[in-house]
Structure 1
Amino acid sequence: MKTVAILVLCSLAVICLTSDASSGSQLASDNPAQEGLIVEREQASTVVRQKRAPGELSLTQLESLREVCEAHLACEHMMDTDGIITAYTTYYGPIVF
């Protein structure tokens, strides 16, 4: 949700800045497709957060997975033998964070 809010605010800022710059001069092209915003891949990747791999979970996230898995006896046993990530994904599906 925070990412969406940041993207909206950045988009509004860019629109305001480009509309001020282009209001004094006429655009040479009347094609609306060429008036769109083009962002380089490196710039876009800094704005949009990349989804983390399951092995890169924080301690808090791992603890919340443990709490869920402890409620299921088979999952708890698998957690002790194969690890929390394997046990959670086996019994509850992909990790959502």
Structure 2
Amino acid sequence: MKNLTILIFCSMMTASLSAGIPDSSGPKSESPSDDGVFVKREEASTLVRQKRAGVAAADLSVAQLESLREVCEADLACEHMMDTSGIIAAYTAHYGPVPF
């Protein structure tokens, strides 16, 4: 009975000690806090941002953007793309280059 108690005690102690010690023999696992993998949202948006061909939204007036939006709302596919990609990308994809 004493041997069984000591054996259980030793196995529990071994399990608790080994749970806290990282395994140094295996490959190093990268944690989410490593600096090389994650970047801030602002940095990512500047790195991933692509220049659109043609007219930029800043070049058009509010009235011109609204007229493009009205044309694009008549087509459901264009309207969906307008919501996800922007008015100029949607109009260009469905109707060709911006007329003004």
Give TM-score scaled by structure 1 length: 0.45
Instruction: Pick the structure with greater CA Rg.
Output: 2
Higher relative contact order (CA 8 A, sep 6+): 1
Give TM-score scaled by structure 2 length: 0.44
